[in-house]
Amino acid sequence: MLKKQDPFPVALADERRLDRRRFLKAAGATAVLALGGEWIGQRLSEPRRLEVIHLPDGVELPPGEARTLGSSDDRREILVVRLDPRSVVAFDRRCPHLGCPVLWSAERARFECPCHRAAFDARTGRVLFGPPRRGLTAVRVAAS
């Protein structure tokens, strides 16, 4: 006697089928892990320490003007600004949000990040507005 043959002999793996709920769970978990990893990476990266930069002899810096100098390890740019005849401030030029180069705005007397329109206080580097959650990294200035 003849057996009835299966019309489709290959078994489908329904138990491995990816439905919408499983896909959204996996996508959400991946996003959380990626963002969490980025946050942890930023926290574990080299600590924020106060670096000292020495102004070279003969560097003229009139009040209200800025100059970009290399850091002591030549890995970063430091933005040095003379706010008034007796006050010089310096900050790491990288925006703490995404690392874009920060610029000095003399007419507004503040630091600005052109990438996402953030602004930072000239004396403290504190965030005035924009997406960064922390201010600019300060650098101490010493005369050579």
Residues 43-101 have pLDDT tens digits of 655 445 556 666 666 667 788 888 887 766 667 788 888 888 888 888 988 898 888 89
pLDDT of residue 2: 62
DSSP annotation of 41: H
Q: What is the pLDDT of residues 108-119, one digit of tens each?
A: 999 999 988 999
CB 113, CB 107: distance < 8 Å: no
39 and 55: one domain?
Answer: no
What residues does 51 pair with on adjacent strands?
Answer: 139
**What domain range is 38 assigned to?**
20-44
Alpha helices in the chain (DSSP H): 20-44
Number of domains in the chain: 2
Q: What SS3 class is residue 81?
A: strand
130 and 77: one domain?
Answer: yes
Kindly provide the b/e burial profile for residues 34-44, where b requires at least 16 CB atoms within 10 angstroms of the residue's own CB.
eeeeeeeeeee
Q: Is residue 59 part of a domain?
A: yes
Q: Is residue 103 part of a domain?
A: yes
Model confidence at 138: pLDDT above 70: yes
pTM exceeds 0.85: no
Q: What percent of the chain is predicted at pLDDT more than 70? A: 69
Report which of 89, 85, 87, 114 is spatially closest to residue 102, judged by C-alpha positions: 114
